[in-house]
Amino acid sequence: MRRAWLTKLLGAISIAGILILIALPLLSLLLRTPLPTLITALRQPLVAQAIQLSLITSLCTTVAIVVLGLPLAYLLAMHDFPGKRLVEAIVDLPMVLPPTVAGVGLLLAFGRTGLLGSVLRPLGIAIPFTTFAVVLAQTFVAAPFFITAAAAGLREVERRYLDAAATLRGTPAYTFWRVMLPLSARSLVAGAAMSWARALGEFGATITFAGNLQGRTQTMPLAVYIALQTDLDAAVALSVILLIVSLTILIALRSTPFGLNTRTRALRRSS
């Protein structure tokens, strides 16, 4: 009896502790600066350029991840092959790798003396410290979120629908577009959104591989870091935007039609 009481108390303290730890910084960000000051801060070139660059690069990254990642997700979902475990581990790796390590790796691959960089250099192509490098860095760290979610979603499409499509003259390609994609749309959209959010927040790999050049490689997280030393209001303004975007994505994934598969959505509509 005493123990049950103690357990409840400890549980309550833990829950309060973790919620305060997560919520307090977020609340502090939102309450720190009054709205007019925030809007003024957004007009500064440093902030405006960072927002523009972040939007462009993160969207390019998301498109690249979906286009390049979907075939791999299909392969992982539908086929067994030797070394599949290894491929899956490599795909997941960037999720646990420190982003700065990813940046160093990218530098060693695409840098002037890097494996591929040294081949590209005589052709007049230099990747590091360009906007393209930002996209590469974001793709590297954000791709696993989409590929994992997409593979899981494609794997969940029930066998009976694929069988039905096959006996209705559906080639694997036709079946992929007309049956697999619509039935796994929820996972694909969710995965893409997670990748986009991760790309938007990318810091370590970007600053290591692409540098911190205002207007070219200085994305919002980098601008936050720089502004923190000179202009706290600007840093807070950028942080608030990033916070709102992240929160919106997570809430959207849980509540809007994207958060449901076609069947439950249709069921809801009919009821």
Q: Which residue ranges make up the site for another protein (CB under 8 A)?
A: 160-161, 163-172, 174, 178-179, 182-183, 262-263, 266-267, 270
Our CB check for another protein shows the closer of 186 and 198 to be: 186
Residue 179 C-beta: closest distance to another protein, Å = 6
Give the pair of three-digit tokens for residue 204: 């370590």
Give the residue among 178, 184, 210 at the shortest CA–CA distance from 61.
210
Our CB check for another protein shows the closer of 166 and 243 to be: 166
Residue 188 C-beta: closest distance to another protein, Å = 13
Distance between CA atoms of residues 177 and 48, nearest Å: 39
Residue 79 C-beta: closest distance to another protein, Å = 15
Residue 252 C-beta: closest distance to another protein, Å = 21
Our CB check for another protein shows the closer of 219 and 261 to be: 261
Our CB check for another protein shows the closer of 11 and 174 to be: 174
Residue 182 C-beta: closest distance to another protein, Å = 5
Residue 9 C-beta: closest distance to another protein, Å = 48
Our CB check for another protein shows the closer of 118 and 262 to be: 262
Our CB check for another protein shows the closer of 77 and 181 to be: 181
